Amino acid sequence: MSADRPHAATRLVGDVGGTNARFGLLTPQGLRDVRVLACADHPTFAAALRSYLAAVGVTTVRHVAIGIANPVYGDHIQMTNHHWAFSIAQTRAELGLETFMVLNDFAVLARALPELPAHELVQVGGGTAVAGVPLGLLGAGTGLGVSGLIPTGNDGWVPLAGEGGHVSFAPYDEREVALWRLAHAHFGHVSAERLLNGAGITFMHQALAQIAGQTAPERSAADITRLALEGSDALCRDTVTLFCTLLGTVAADLAITLGARGGVYIGGGIVPKLGEFFVRSPFRQRFEDKGRTSPYLRDIPVWVIHSPWPALLGAAAALDQALQASPRHGHA
């Protein structure tokens, strides 16, 4: 950077969702100037990034990495839950960037896992993580995100960008078979995501009432969760307990699929807010109840992520790994 650019920065990271975009600058001391911008307030992604730079008094950046709540295939990005659409190459040129990395949001969150400090994680059962093996990640919110992190053998990591939330839901007992029948009649194919997200909590609340021969008022997922945590409504408590239980099935499937003896991490908008309710729930019992693979799963630790900006840490790690691998940018 030239001396006449005192407000220039080298690296910027972002986490772009359908509602908000979060940006932060990377310095040798770590992440700083994290700001949250409403996507609706900006006509384009580039405009939002420029607005952030103006707000923090930075004139230019050289290297940018963002996670985005969207599949990332090729150069063209069309957001699923927002109107922003852009070309990666054109945006890189428009903003004068040397590096512009666009990654799936859950792949970015997966890349953050080795960087998360221990005090921002709550362990739910299991033993000690095995080093140098895959890690699993899932998180329920608007959808059900699933990813993993695979070691490369040279202190690097490769995050997986897949759509694992759409695996088929596997009922465990007769009540869950009845739940599957109601979901199948309503949705057709019953994926794990149909039940393990905000809309799924609302659906299960009504379905469990129907299975029990009762009627229940229609409630939002937020209200169902609040009443469950308060302990003031038995059906809401039963619904959220079942949510935690079913998540145990999916987490175990992920662990044995990836061989995630390094641990399974849970993020997303729902589980971290459940606090002790989740820790005391049947999640862990279901996670380990896997027949012949139960001893294998018993040792695998599960952590709930309580970090404020985990996706930004993941974008930073991915950017750093990419720049170190490039002779041109090795010391950027």
Q: Phi then psi for 185, rounded to 5 degrees?
A: -65, -30
- Residue 155's pLDDT band (cuts 50, 70, 90): confident
Listing DSSP states for 49-109 in one string gives: HHHHHHHHT----SEEEEEESS---SSEEE-SSSS-EEEHHHHHHHTT-SEEEEEEHHHHH
Residues 6+ apart with CB under 8 A from 129: 261, 262, 263, 301
Q: What is the CA radius of gyration of the chain?
A: 21
Res 321: pLDDT: 86
- pTM of the predicted model, to two decimals? 0.86
Higher pLDDT, 72 or 155: 72
| Average pLDDT of the chain to the nearest whole number | 92
Residues 6+ apart with CB under 8 A from 92: 99, 100
The rounded distance, in Å, linking the Cα atoms of 240 and 277 is 9
Tokens representing residue 109 in the block: 């969150």
The rounded distance, in Å, linking the Cα atoms of 115 and 130 is 16
The rounded distance, in Å, linking the Cα atoms of 163 and 11 is 29
Nearest to 315 by CA among 70, 93, 42, 12: 12
Tokens representing residue 17 in the block: 């969702």
Beta strands in 164-272 (DSSP E): 264-267
The rounded distance, in Å, linking the Cα atoms of 50 and 166 is 36
- Contact, 256 vs 296, CB < 8 A? yes
Q: Which residues pair with residue 86 across a beta bridge?
A: 77
- Rounded to the nearest 10°, the torsion over CA 138, 298, 260, 308 is 40
- Contact, 135 vs 171, CB < 8 A? no
End-to-end CA distance of the chain: 10
Higher pLDDT, 9 or 173: 173
Residues in the chain: 332
Could you report the per-residue pLDDT of 180-197, keeping only the tens digit for each? 999 999 999 999 999 999
Nearest to 36 by CA among 304, 320, 312: 312
Higher pLDDT, 253 or 322: 253
Q: Is pLDDT at 86 greater than 70 in this prediction?
A: yes
Residues 6+ apart with CB under 8 A from 28: none
Res 216: pLDDT: 93
Q: Which domains does the chain have, with CATH numbers?
A: 11-110+310-325 (3.30.420.40), 117-305 (3.40.367.20)
Residues 6+ apart with CB under 8 A from 142: 18, 81, 197, 198, 269
The rounded distance, in Å, linking the Cα atoms of 278 and 272 is 8
Question: Percentage of the chain with pLDDT > 70?
Answer: 96
Q: What is the arithmetic mean of pLDDT over 279-287?
A: 98
Residues 6+ apart with CB under 8 A from 83: none
Could you report the per-residue pLDDT of 189-226, keeping only the tens digit for each? 999 999 999 999 999 999 999 999 999 999 999 999 99
Q: What is the arithmetic mean of pLDDT over 62-74?
A: 90
Res 8: pLDDT: 55
C-beta neighbour count of 217 within 10 angstroms: 10
Q: Which residues pair with residue 24 across a beta bridge?
A: 13
Q: Is pLDDT at 3 greater than 50 in this prediction?
A: no
Helix, strand or coil, per DSSP, at residue 253: helix
